[in-house]
Chains A and B, each alone.
Chain A
Amino acid sequence: MKKIIDTVETVVDQALDGMVVAYPEYLMRVPGTSVLARAVPKEDGRVGIVSGGGSGHEPAHGGYVGYGMLDAAVAGEVFTSPTPDQVYAGIKAADHGAGVLLVVKNYTGDVMNFDIARELADGDGIATEVVLVNDDVAVQDSLYTTGRRGIAGTVFVHKIAGAAAEEGADLGAVKAVGDAVVANMASMGFALTSCTVPANGKPTFELADNEMELGIGIHGEPGIERVPMMSAREVTNTLFQRLVGELSLARGDRVAVMVNSMGATPALELAIMTAHLNEFAQHAGIVLERVFMGEFMTSLEMAGASLTLLRLDGQRATRLGAVADTPALRIMQR
């Protein structure tokens, strides 16, 4: 393992401190916790938004704390959901008297730990709601299993629900906005390499030079299918067609897209994928209204990318374009 770390045990703690040093105007660390909260809290009477999960997905989740997005982000160990006491500390930091929305990716551990934290908040009279993100279409949805998992599309939920909260929408309304984002969104990713979890010291899986893994999650875990290596055009087409099918997109539909690096894939390659995306969208008559390209939800140093499509209506488009000012995402009013 070749990583710039001191000790495996202190990776997350040190990184959280580093975030505050880098972005003091945005972030403060709630003392004694792994919670990053807004340096300048939202005004009273507005719904708070908390997200979080394992570390290793940077800039998620602390990078999205700031005006127009999250009020607090809770960090777990690398690829391990945070514990209920930490999530609860995040809820308290985000509560400004109008309740708190939790954005939870659909992983067994995240769901359980956020649930226990909600029980703790109930005891203190803080109202909470959950938006469960399950945008990864690589995983078959089923009543009898864990269901689809949440990946990069989570950032769209932060953005759009965050905008609704800033407008002054109440807790039920902000949740409905978040749920609607999830219902109109689909993502899928691929990997060229795995990644090395610091505590484990070696790559989680191996891929030969002529192979890629389709349908990966965001934890260095194996995907759904191992396939021969494709060109940028082929892989972009494969993902795009799959997502268009999942969302039943038709000619004239407007979408926002996210082309997300898994950590090691450079912007150069993302831009090639994005250019192809435009070509396929034009061919299908789908309007690419907003493109987000870069590192949004990573899997340590995994090489690969994910693609997210979000169907837009007037309100979602407005909220996606609303002002946001966070370390990882800044949107100016056009």
Chain B
Amino acid sequence: MDESSFRQLWRSFATLIREHKDELNELDAAIGDADHGSNMDRGLTKVVDALEASPEGSLRADAKLVGMTLMGTVGGASGALWGSAMLKFAAALPDAPTVSWADFVAALDAFVQALAQRGKATVGDKTMMDVFIPMVDELQTALTAGEPPFDTVRSHAREYSERTYDMVAKRGRAAYLGERSVGHVDPGSRSSALWFEALGAVGP
């Protein structure tokens, strides 16, 4: 992946979040506090501006800028998680204008480990981990077999997000609802699926 694709990924993600802002707020209203779309939108608007204002150099520098911007503008659990995990993602990337898909997916693995450490959630807890863990697994499996299957990345991420519908939330604010959280898709998993949708769009 080269730097312009990486920047395109974040612009696409920002556009998708903007388009789905109301949907994300409504998902959050059902089991949280109705602002996930607004918070992510605020942060990603700043990310797009920050990347625009920063001269091209390396994916690592861009990823660090994305992480710092998200951490400083999104707020809530999402800001802390996306922000600190993007900083780990950046640290795991080689400092180069272009990185291999193997490097990219390895950095994504570091991203997921950072999420796990900070958020202490795992698959089945009705969080963004329900999308990130299986998706990164899939990407790793696909890589060892050849090219990452970016066509399936999009639909699969959405499927993993939909699976949170039946789950009882164990982490985050939705966890206070217990059984009442069943029957709603987790908004954090939905926005995470949108990130993979953006990735699918820039993939080979």
Contact = CB atoms under 8 A, between A and B. Distances in A.
Given A140-B178, A205-B29, 13 more contacts: A9-B42, A54-B76, A80-B76, A81-B79, A83-B74, A115-B80, A115-B118, A146-B172, A204-B29, A221-B32, A221-B33, A224-B176, A224-B177
A231 to B, nearest CB: 25
Contacts of A145: 170-171, 175
Contact of B119 (A82, A85, A108, A138): A108
A295 to B, nearest CB: 20
A224 B178 contact: yes
B76 A76 contact: yes
B33 A112 contact: no
A222 B78 contact: no
Interface string A219-247: 11110100000000000000000000000
Interface in A163-182: none
Contacts, number: 120
Interface in A41-99: 54, 76-85
Interface in B159-176: 170-173, 175-176
A113 interface: yes
Contact of B176 (A85, A144, A221): A221
Interface in A116-175: 116, 138-140, 144-146, 149
A197 B35 contact: yes
Contacts of A224: 176-178, 180
Summarize A's interface: helix, strand, loop or mixed. loop
Contacts of B176: 138-139, 146, 149, 217, 221, 224
A280 interface: no
Contacts of B32: 219, 221
B77 A79 contact: no
Contacts of B33: 79, 197, 204, 219-221
A65 to B, nearest CB: 20
Contacts of B76: 54, 76, 80-81, 109, 113
B73 interface: yes
B182 interface: no
A78 B35 contact: yes
Interface string A100-111: 000000011100
Interface in A185-206: 197, 199-200, 204-205
Contacts of B171: 108, 145-146
Contacts of A85: 71-72
Contacts of A140: 178
Nearest to A119: B84
Contacts of B106: none
Nearest to A138: B176
A107 B81 CA distance: 14
A219 B33 CA distance: 6
Nearest to A76: B75
B175 A113 contact: no
Interface in B24-49: 25, 29, 31-35, 38-39, 42
Contact of A113 (B42, B75, B172, B178): B75
